[in-house]
Structure formats: C-alpha cells, structure tokens
C-alpha cells in the first residue's frame, strides 16, 4: 500500500480548507500558511490532547502563557543572542540562492559534519564560505527604532517558563519534581523553510519544563521519553513509523547533556517531531546570573537548597498535525470506487459526527437538524444536506469524520438512524435516544489505526 506523499496532503488541505498558502491574493509569501476551518479544529484538538496529557491526567504540572516579546536580556542569558545560529552558504554561481551548509553536507556527503566539497543543489555553482546566521527576528519596541529598544520575537517558548520559575514556585505550591507547560507561537528566521508546514518561520510549540532534584534527572529523562512516545501512539500514529533517536555528542545543543528526538517517517524520511532534552541546571543558573535573582528550590523541611535540573519535551504543533495527517491519509477502493479517507483518531478528528438526511424532504432535514442540535453541545458535529449521500460521505471521509448519522424514511417511523463507521464502513441501526451515550462511549474508547504500516 502506498504511503501518502506531501503533494497529496497539500492538495487535500487546500481542497478541504485545512490549510492555505498565506497571502495568496498577493502572490503568496514563501512557506507561510493560513489555517482554515478544519485546520483550526484539528490543530485545536492536537493542542487539547497535549494539555490533557500534561495537565488533566496528572497533578504535577501547571500551565503558563508568557509574552512573545520579552526583555532582551532573556536571550543574552539563554545563549540565543550568540549561539542560536545556523551556518549559511550562498551560491556564487548563477542562482545566488542561500542554503544551510549542514543540510547540504548531509544531503550530498551523508553527514552534517562530513568533510569534502559541496555544490549548489540548484545550479551546481560554487558556494561561499559559511557564516553563522542568527535565526531570531529582531524588532524595535516603541515608536523610534534605535539601539536601546531592540527586542526579539521569541524563538522558543521555553525561556518564558524559566523566567517565571520563581512566580510559579511561589503560587502553585509545587515542589520538584514538577513541571510548567506552555503552548504558543515561536518565530525563527529559517534559512530554508520548507516541506509544507514542517518548517516555517512562524509556528507553534508545545513545551514543558520539568524541574527535578539533580540526582533524578536521568531517570526522569527516560520516563519522559517513554511518556511522549506513548502520547503519539495512543493518538493513533502507527508505532512502525515512529522512532526515538539519541543525539550524538557533536549534535547536542549548548545547554544539553542528553537529547533524544522523537522522529516520524514523513514522506521526506525520518524527521524530528519533538526533542526531549536533559537541560541540566543551565537555564536557571544563567537567568540567576543575569537577573541577580535566586532561582533555586529551598526545602522548607530541612532548609536544604538546590538548583533543579530540567527535563524538556519540546514539540511542534504544526509538525505533529502534519504527522497525524500523513499517518491517517489513505486512498482505497470501495465497491469499485476510489475513496480518500483521513483515518484520524476520533479525538483528533475536526468533526466527530455528520448528521445527514437521506433526502431533502419528508421532514428528514428537520429531524436531522434536531439531532445535530442535541449533539453539538457535546462534540463537534455537522449538518449537511448538499448533494447525494455518497458525495456527502466522501466529503466527511476526507476530513476524517469518524461517524455518519443518516436520517431516512425509517427514522420518521421508528426514531432510529443509521450510524456509519468511517473505517469499517459498517452501518448499524440505533435509536435516536441512544445516540449521545453511544458516541460519547465510542469517543472514550482506545483507538488504533486500521492502516497497515507499509
């Protein structure tokens, strides 16, 4: 069975209004995207599942929502001002395009740090010497652009957590091990964005900093790797398409003593979905030094004090969303006709149930609307009368709606409807009065993808 290509996903996203290229009426701006209705719903569900796993299903993590523009010292202390760079090379031949040197080495020589000559992948031209390019977007705060008011759009959400460590410790009545979680936009002036929403310059992150006693950091790192892999598989990603890849020592960031990436096998190959790093005490120590605040935990029982170590699972919302869509996409033949279906976990599906009158008369639309109204307070449902029933099912299959509820002439006689399952295509007859319980029950069930791993 063929796995989805990126082109197929891009086409589906456009066709069904999940994601559009941004500023299209002005000719577009490269690698920037706008999320349409179903895209918003799917993305919200991805974030809701992350919050559920971080907050609702445990009691050692609290939430925060910090500002995008922070004090410029934050980025000095964190090391981003000096160190958040990628090696940039420019083609000296015809095309003059710019590339990331490490990516070209990997593509042409097999490893990011391999020695040897690399050439422009577009025109074969010679390349310039690499220079370190800082990925932070710079701006000025206030009406006058001058040196004193330079600020940066945050390149990660994590620092907004570290600088609030003291506030949270004081108000959340937590002691290590405990975590602070945040979802929000981050900005990176990537040299070569691409692969649809995989790498963009404006994206959303879901990051959690877990503060632990220093001697338990190794154990917690292991446990968060396991936990994060579980999150993806429980939400339906096929286990055979996921892997955990430890960073080599030459690959580690300046702050990290160990990092493993959760990688998904995207159409362009295994690529990072999430990094799970042991950041040690780097961030709290740096911010303590730059701010002159004490950022440590004091045990009220015995007065002992220490700077907690930090385990950080850092994921991308957009990348996760792309992985869920790629993994769910399937084209199959049903009774001689092709259908495209997004086999999303029901909890991720933008719409849970579509209520469809078989014909647009005989009281069926009114009855269907009544059912839609009864359900929509509990879950996202849609009411649709447009086109033949086959066409309407197909539309719902493509947006990943797990259940179709069809109102037909029998409904008008005995108050039952047919309930169609997106994956098995089974249709069962069920009393309207039982619908709420049935669907809420199905939503709570564990779900695994019926799609085989190629």
Binding site for ligand ATP (CB under 6 A): 156, 188, 190, 199-200, 203, 205, 272-275, 314-316, 318-319
The residues, any chain, with a CB within 8 Å of residue 276's CB and separated by 6 or more, are 221, 224, 225, 228, 259, 260, 261, 262, 311, 312, 313, 314
* Alpha-carbon separation of residue 443 from 193, 316, 429 (angstroms): 36, 25, 18
* Alpha-carbon separation of residue 347 from 105, 123, 183, 326, 419 (angstroms): 41, 46, 19, 17, 18
- Is the Cβ of residue 318 or residue 327 nearer to ligand ATP in the bound state? 318
User: Rounded distance, CA 25 to CA 357, Å?
Assistant: 37
The residues, any chain, with a CB within 8 Å of residue 359's CB and separated by 6 or more, are 408
Name the H helices within 376-422.
Answer: 389-399, 409-414
Q: How far is the CB of 260 from ligand ATP (least distance, A)?
A: 11
- Can you state the percent helix, strand and coil of the chain, rounding each to 5? 35, 30, 35
- Is the Cβ of residue 13 or residue 419 nearer to ligand ATP in the bound state? 13
Q: How far is the CB of 314 from ligand ATP (least distance, A)?
A: 4
Tokens of 18: 């999940």
Q: How far is the CB of 202 from ligand ATP (least distance, A)?
A: 8
Number of Cβ atoms within 10 Å of the Cβ of 447: 18
Phi and psi at residue 293, in whole multiples of 5°?
Answer: -100, 150
Buried b (16+ CB within 10 A) or exposed e, 371-389: bbeebeeebbbbbbeeeeb
- Is the Cβ of residue 228 or residue 392 nearer to ligand ATP in the bound state? 228
Instruction: Output the CA angle 55-58-63, nearest 5 degrees.
Output: 25
- Is the Cβ of residue 112 or residue 370 nearer to ligand ATP in the bound state? 112
Q: How far is the CB of 65 from ligand ATP (least distance, A)?
A: 17
Q: How far is the CB of 319 from ligand ATP (least distance, A)?
A: 4
Q: How far is the CB of 315 from ligand ATP (least distance, A)?
A: 5
- Is the Cβ of residue 80 or residue 372 nearer to ligand ATP in the bound state? 80
Q: How far is the CB of 326 from ligand ATP (least distance, A)?
A: 14
Q: How far is the CB of 39 from ligand ATP (least distance, A)?
A: 15
Pick from 228, 226, 447: nearest CA to 348: 447
Residue nearest ligand ATP, Cβ-based: 316
- Is the Cβ of residue 105 or residue 319 nearer to ligand ATP in the bound state? 319
User: Rounded distance, CA 93 to CA 116, Å?
Assistant: 19
Q: How far is the CB of 21 from ligand ATP (least distance, A)?
A: 15
**8-state DSSP, 56:** I
- Is the Cβ of residue 18 or residue 447 nearer to ligand ATP in the bound state? 18
β-pair partners for 140: 150
- Is the Cβ of residue 193 or residue 365 nearer to ligand ATP in the bound state? 193
- Is the Cβ of residue 178 or residue 196 nearer to ligand ATP in the bound state? 196
- Is the Cβ of residue 224 or residue 393 nearer to ligand ATP in the bound state? 224
User: Rounded distance, CA 323 to CA 299, Å?
Assistant: 42
Are the C-beta atoms of residues 53 and 231 closer than 8 Å to each other? yes
Q: How far is the CB of 316 from ligand ATP (least distance, A)?
A: 2
């Amino acid at each position: 069975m063929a796995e989805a290509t990126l082109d197929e996903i891009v086409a589906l996203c456009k066709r069904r209004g999940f994601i559009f290229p941004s500023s299209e009426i002005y000719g577009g701006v490269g690698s920037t995207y706008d999320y349409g209705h179903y895209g918003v719903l799917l993305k919200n569900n991805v974030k809701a599942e992350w919050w559920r796993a971080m907050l609702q299903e445990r009691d050692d993590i609290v939430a925060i929502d910090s500002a995008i523009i922070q004090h410029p010292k934050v980025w000095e202390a964190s090391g981003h001002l000096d160190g958040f760079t990628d090696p940039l090379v420019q083609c000296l031949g015809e095309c003059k395009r710019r590339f990331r040197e490490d990516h070209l080495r990997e593509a042409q020589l097999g490893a990011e740090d391999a020695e040897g000559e690399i050439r422009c992948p577009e025109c074969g031209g010679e390349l310039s010497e690499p220079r370190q390019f800082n990925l932070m977007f710079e701006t000025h705060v206030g009406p006058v652009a001058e040196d004193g008011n330079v600020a940066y759009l945050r390149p990660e959400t994590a620092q907004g957590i570290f600088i609030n460590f003291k506030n949270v410790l004081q108000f959340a009545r937590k002691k290590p091990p405990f975590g602070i979680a945040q979802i929000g936009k981050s900005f990176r002036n990537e040299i070569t964005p691409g692969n649809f929403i995989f790498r963009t310059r404006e994206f959303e992150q879901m990051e959690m900093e877990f503060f632990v006693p220093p001697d338990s950091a190794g154990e917690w790192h292991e446990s968060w790797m396991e936990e994060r892999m579980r999150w993806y598989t429980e939400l339906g990603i096929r286990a055979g398409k996921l892997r955990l890849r430890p960073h080599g020592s030459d690959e580690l960031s300046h702050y990290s003593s160990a990092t493993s990436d959760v990688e998904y096998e995207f159409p362009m190959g295994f690529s990072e979905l999430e990094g799970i790093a042991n950041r040690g005490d780097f961030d709290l120590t740096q911010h303590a030094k730059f701010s002159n605040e004490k950022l440590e935990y004091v045990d009220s029982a015995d007065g002992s004090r220490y700077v907690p170590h930090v385990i950080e699972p850092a994921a991308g919302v957009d990348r996760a969303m792309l992985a869920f869509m790629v993994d769910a996409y399937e084209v199959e033949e049903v009774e001689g006709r092709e259908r495209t279906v997004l086999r999303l976990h029901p909890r991720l599906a933008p719409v849970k149930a579509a209520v469809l009158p078989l014909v647009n008369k005989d009281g069926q639309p009114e009855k269907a609307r009544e059912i839609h109204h009864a359900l929509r307070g509990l879950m996202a449902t849609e009411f649709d009368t447009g086109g033949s029933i086959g066409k309407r099912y197909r539309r719902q299959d493509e947006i990943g709606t797990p259940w179709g509820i069809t109102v037909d002439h029998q409904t008008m006689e005995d108050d039952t409807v047919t309930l169609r399952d997106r994956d098995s295509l089974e249709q069962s007859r069920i009393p309207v009065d039982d619908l709420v319980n049935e669907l809420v029950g199905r939503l709570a069930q564990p779900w695994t993808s019926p799609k085989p791993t190629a």
